[in-house]
Structure 1
């Protein structure tokens, strides 16, 4: 093998390894529908994979007054309100798959000081709904209800599911579950933990 051929082979190998590194980095990050990794503080719409049963996500009350909960828009063509994502590791700019993450609406309301997602319990129904009021950061027992995990779904390259199973408090007893949909008497679709996860995609706002 000549010196030039040897150098060419090394160059090709290095380029191949570099491309593998980039692919692996992407695979560990959550991707939007254009294949770009989600970035901290950027705004995204969370839209359902299967259309025809509600649109993007918004904040709604259950009884026409505060508090607010996470719900799907009635019209499927609506993208809903934009969201921001903050991973447990503040040094990360890209949002990793399967890491505890704060999910926050980029919107305000007189009902709450913070617009982050938080898990709540409804004594009347026994359901665990995703409410509004969670703050950002400070992982620990006091903020346990504020952390959600975004994982790959099995449907396709850009499809994901949300679950509640934070790992920030190893000593805590946690009832884990996937985030799905509860349909109210008026047809409103509120998010909460059940055995039918809502599969979603992310679109840059």
Structure 2
């Protein structure tokens, strides 16, 4: 009984390990890998649904914090790209952004 339970556990673990996919590179809209140190604009996929993303303190009337924006907003006009951002993996040894991994996002003023 113990042998069959152990065998079942090993088979189950092997199956679970095979079904969990390794992180894949994140691709931009042109199909190229998203890399660190490159500025990107986060835009809607569907045209006519507003512009890009920007960070601001605009909606926080009680805050005197001008150094760290607290809100991410979408530009109302489609012609506005918003603010550029760069992605940096938590593991700085990687040059490509991978799915299901931790990363930092830094925004740049327009």
TM-score between the two structures when normalised by the length of structure 1: 0.36
Counterpart of 2:55?
59
Cα deviations by residue, 1:69-107 (Å, 9 ceiling, x for unpaired) = 111111012111110001111100011111111111023
Higher share in strand: 1
- Report runs of 4+ in structure 1 exceeding 3 Å deviation: 63-67
1:96 to 95, 98, 105: 98
Q: Larger relative contact order (C-alpha < 8 A, sep ≥ 6)?
A: 2
Query: How many residues are paired up?
Result: 82
Gaps of 5+ in 1: 1-26, 109-205
Going from structure 1 to structure 2, the CA distance change for 1:58 and 1:66 (only over 3 Å counts) comes to farther
1:42 to 16, 31, 38: 38
The alpha carbon displacement at 1:47 in A equals 0.6
Gaps of 5+ in 2: 1-22
Task: Provide the C-alpha distance between the structure 2 equivalents of 1:102 and 1:72, rounded to a whole number of angstroms.
Answer: 20
Question: What is the RMSD computed on CA atoms of the aligned residues?
Answer: 2.2
Q: Name the SS for the 1:45 alignment partner.
A: coil
Which structure would you say has the larger Rg? 2
